[in-house]
Amino acid sequence: MPGIKDLVGLSFGGAIGLTFLFLGCAVEQYGVYWPLFALIFYILSPLPLIIANRVSDDTDSSSNACRELAYFLTTGIVVSAYGFHIVLAHSSTIEWGACGLALTGNTILFITIFGFFMVFGRGDEFSWEQW
């Protein structure tokens, strides 16, 4: 069962990641809010894995087509989140400093999402699958 330290750590990671994302938008010299569209990627990234864990059977086989597709889609969403900021900076829509802050926020938030799956995805009596 996940402890209070795990929950506090995940909350702290999410808060720090969002702080970097907001700093990339709110610092006066940057002043554009395009990087906030990355929130869509944070919402979409765990969905394929959640759906695959609900749909797929829990056999002990090493390969499951549904989970492999979910890993592929999740990887595509994560790479798109990084590419989104780089394309915005390359097209001069946002500054490169804002891009760096947003990419730092991306890294921290995706590590936090991965940590959530590691903490709550163990299959014990208290897991995210019950929600």
Instruction: State the pLDDT at residue 58.
Output: 63
Domain ranges of the chain: 4-56+63-130
Q: Which residues contact 80 (CB under 8 A, 6 or more apart)?
A: 41
Q: What are the DSSP E strand ranges found in the chain?
A: none
The verdict on pTM exceeding 0.85 is no
Two tokens, residue 29: 């010299």
Q: What is the dihedral of CA 10, 13, 18, 19, to 10 degrees?
A: 140
Instruction: State the pLDDT at residue 2.
Output: 66
Instruction: State the pLDDT at residue 53.
Output: 81
Instruction: State the pLDDT at residue 15.
Output: 95
Helix (H, G, I), strand (E, B) or coil at 69: helix
Q: Which residues of the chain have pLDDT under 50?
A: 127-128
Taking phi over 0 as left and psi of -120 to 50 as alpha, with beta for the rest, 2 belongs to beta
Instruction: State the pLDDT at residue 77.
Output: 96
pLDDT for 31-41, tens place per residue?
889 999 999 99
Instruction: State the pLDDT at residue 1.
Output: 58
Instruction: State the pLDDT at residue 113.
Output: 92
Instruction: State the pLDDT at residue 127.
Output: 47
Are the C-beta atoms of residues 24 and 105 closer than 8 Å to each other?
Answer: yes
CA count, 13 A, side-chain hemisphere, 59: 10
